[in-house]
Chains A and B, each alone.
Chain A
Amino acid sequence: MKNRIIDLFERKGGDVLNVYFTAGHPELDDTASIISALDSQGVDLVEIGMPYSDPMADGETIQNSSQKALTNGMTLALLMKQITTLRKSSNIPIIIMGYYNQMIQYGEERFLQEASEAGVDGLIIPDLPMDVYADQYKDLFEKYNVTMSFLITPETSDDRIRKADKLSNGFLYVVSKSSITGSSSTISDRQKAYFNHINSLDLKTPRLIGFGIHDKTTYDTACEYAQGAIIGSAFIRALEGKGGLKEKIDKFIGGVRR
Chain B
Amino acid sequence: MTYQVDDRGYYGEFGGAFIPEMLHANVENLKKRYVDIIYEADFQKEFDNLLKDYVGRPTPLYLAKRLSAAYGGKIYLKREDLNHTGAHKINNTIGQILLAQRLGKRRIIAETGAGQHGVATATVCALMGVECIVYMGQVDIGRQAPNVARMRMLGAEVRPAMSGSRTLKDATNEAIRDWINNPENTHYIIGSVVGPHPYPDMVARFQSVISEEMKWQLKEKEGREHPDYVVACVGGGSNAAGAFYHYLDDERVKLVSVEAAGLGVDSGESAATSVLGTIGIIHGSRTLLMQTEDGQIIEPYSISAGLDYPGIGPQHAYLIESGRAQVYSATDKEALTAAMELSRIEGIIPALETSHALAILDKMKLKEEDIVIVNLSGRGDKDLATYIDHLDELT
Mark A residues whose CB is within 8 Å of B. Answer: 52-57, 59-60, 63-64, 67, 70, 75-76, 99-106, 126-129, 132, 150-153, 155-157, 160, 164, 175, 178-180
Contact = CB atoms under 8 A, between A and B. Distances in A.
Contacts of A152: 21
B330 interface: no
Contacts of A54: 164, 169-170, 173, 282-283, 297
Contacts of B180: 57, 178-180
Interface string B7-35: 00000000011111110111000000000
Contact of A155 (B25, B169, B291): B25
Given A126-B20, A127-B281, A128-B18, A53 B297 contact: yes
Nearest to B169: A54
A53 B164 contact: yes
Contacts of B26: 155
Interface of B: 16-22, 24-26, 163-164, 169-170, 173, 176-177, 180-184, 278-284, 291-297
A224 B181 CA distance: 25
B25 A56 contact: no
28 contacts: A52-B295, A52-B296, A54-B169, A54-B170, A54-B282, A54-B283, A56-B20, A57-B22, A63-B164, A64-B163, A75-B294, A76-B294, A100-B18, A101-B280, A104-B280, A105-B292, A106-B294, A106-B295, A126-B21, A127-B18, A129-B17, A155-B22, A155-B25, A155-B26, A156-B25, A178-B181, A178-B182, A179-B180
Contacts of A104: 279-281, 295
Contact of B177 (A53, A56, A105, A155): A56
Contacts, number: 108
B19 A127 contact: yes
A128 B19 CA distance: 7
Contacts of A178: 22, 180-184
Contacts of B278: 105
Given A155-B183, A179-B180, A105 B22 contact: no
B163 A60 contact: yes
Contacts of B18: 100, 127-129, 132
A102 B296 CA distance: 7
B177 A180 contact: yes
A130 B182 CA distance: 23
Contacts of B294: 75-76, 102, 105-106
B280 A105 contact: yes
A22 to B, nearest CB: 14
Contact of B281 (A99, A106, A156, A160): A99
Contact of A101 (B25, B170, B295): B295
B164 A101 contact: no
Most chain-A CB neighbours within 10 Å: which of B18, B21, B25, B184?
Answer: B21
A55 B53 CA distance: 42
B26 to A, nearest CB: 8
B179 to A, nearest CB: 10
Contacts of A101: 280-282, 291, 295, 297
B21 A150 contact: yes
A226 to B, nearest CB: 17
Contacts of A153: 21-22, 24-25
Nearest to A104: B280
Contact of B21 (A99, A132, A151): A151
A105 B295 contact: yes
**Nearest 7 interchain pairs by C-beta:** A105-B295, A155-B25, A57-B20, A126-B20, A151-B21, A101-B281, A53-B296
Nearest to B183: A178
Contacts of A59: 177
A183 B283 CA distance: 22
A105 B21 contact: no
A54 B293 CA distance: 15
A127 B20 contact: yes
B15 to A, nearest CB: 12
A70 B282 CA distance: 18
B219 to A, nearest CB: 44
B176 to A, nearest CB: 5
Given A105-B294, A155-B22, 7 more contacts: A101-B280, A126-B21, A127-B281, A153-B21, A155-B24, A155-B25, A179-B180
B164 to A, nearest CB: 7
